Structure 1
Amino acid sequence: MKKLAYIILGFIIGAVLTYYFCPRDLGEETLHTKIIKPKGLVSPGQAKKLNDNWTKFREAAVDSAAKKQGRNKDNRSTWWSIEDIENYIKFAKNQTDSLKYNLTGIRVYSGVYGDNAGRTKKNLSTMFLIPTVKKGKAEASMNPFNMMLQKGDDCEECDGLNDGTGGNNSYPN
């Protein structure tokens, strides 16, 4: 009988140790997250064509302007890490909530670093992200379809995301 008690105690200790030391998914989100195909996806062939069209119709003008600023070529892409993008989306949601806005999306803008941007970025093109919002949480909550019908305005009070890595390579890089 004493041996049986030790065996049962061993099973209990093993179960407790297994519970605390075995890896497991702690995120509720990942258990119930449904992957939804976003609107506006383009195939790799379509992306190549878009890039080729940019090269055909814009590259000469953009690089000509860059040459006037003392550069041979201008940036034609901007890269951010997945972590930076995910963190920015969380940050934008938090910031717009605190301003009593409904975050409706993210808009991408083209910009140009100025003369004071340092040697590596001086007068080069860049991209930056700005949250778009609908003002007034109370109004939007009355109509659940409000968010789907209207894209939203730029949040002029919100911080944007810049400082990605620029490049002058064409697609695919």
Structure 2
Amino acid sequence: MKKLSYIILGFIIGAVLTYYFCPKSIDTETMETKVKTAEELVRPDGAIEQDYAQKLNKNWTEYREPAVDSAAQRQGREKDNRWTEWSLEELEEYLVYSQGMADLLGYKMNGVRVYLGVYGEDSGPKKKNLTTMFIVPRGKKKQEAASMIPFSFQNRNKNLPIDPLNDGNGGSGGYE
């Protein structure tokens, strides 16, 4: 009988831990209660107006598109990629993965960096020599709690040794 009580206790503890540590899906009702009105939203630093984003894109088209597209034409392409997109689910999944890997490797992830890249000759006919963008997690090495020196001049943000996110959908159209 004593062994049965341990088994039941184990199931109860397992159920409680599963409830708290397993990812929960977000439904729209939860999101609606989270964000009740537009007045409660705080615009993040760095957010820019739509008109300014269109101006930046227009400037890129004026100053960079001819050079970029002429390089693409030398490679046998009419136009190069101008943007890359990932779904919200892909980004959330990648950020959770990156933060988990950073913790396992002893880093504190505190941001991401977006890099431009170019697929090579061996990337297949759809991607051959096209521009791509990929996301790289950034952060610092965690400090030991018992350290004699609680800070380090060498411990600055750097790219973390975690696989970057690539393979977004790219295209050549302007800002829409």
TM-score w.r.t. the length of structure 1 is 0.72
2:114 to 101, 108, 113: 108
Alpha-carbon deviation of 1:39? 1.5
**For the Cα contact (< 8 Å) 1:106–1:129, is it kept in 2?**
yes
Partner of 1:171: 175
1:96 matched to 2:102: yes
Q: Measure, in 2, the Cα distance between the counterparts of 1:120 and 1:41.
A: 33
TM-score w.r.t. the length of structure 2 is 0.71
- Structure 1 residues 94-129: Cα deviation after superposition (integer angstroms, max 9, x where no partner): 011110001010100000011111110010000000
Partner of 1:60: 66
Partner of 1:78: 84
Partner of 1:43: 49
Long gaps (5+) in structure 2? 1-23
Alpha-carbon deviation of 1:138? 2.8
- Structure 1 residues 7-57: Cα deviation after superposition (integer angstroms, max 9, x where no partner): xxxxxxxxxxxxxxxxxx997x97779955322101110110010010011
Partner of 1:126: 132
**For the Cα contact (< 8 Å) 1:132–1:151, is it kept in 2?**
no
Change (3 A) 1:169 1:32: closer
SS in 2 for 1:130: strand
Q: Measure, in 1, the Cα distance between the counterparts of 2:129 and 2:165.
A: 18
Letter in 1 for 2:164: G
Change (3 A) 1:151 1:81: farther
Root mean square deviation of aligned Cα: 2.9
SS in 2 for 1:98: helix
Question: How many pairs align?
Answer: 140
1:153 matched to 2:176: no
SS in 2 for 1:111: strand
Letter in 1 for 2:73: K
Letter in 1 for 2:102: T
Give % identity.
44
SS in 2 for 1:128: strand
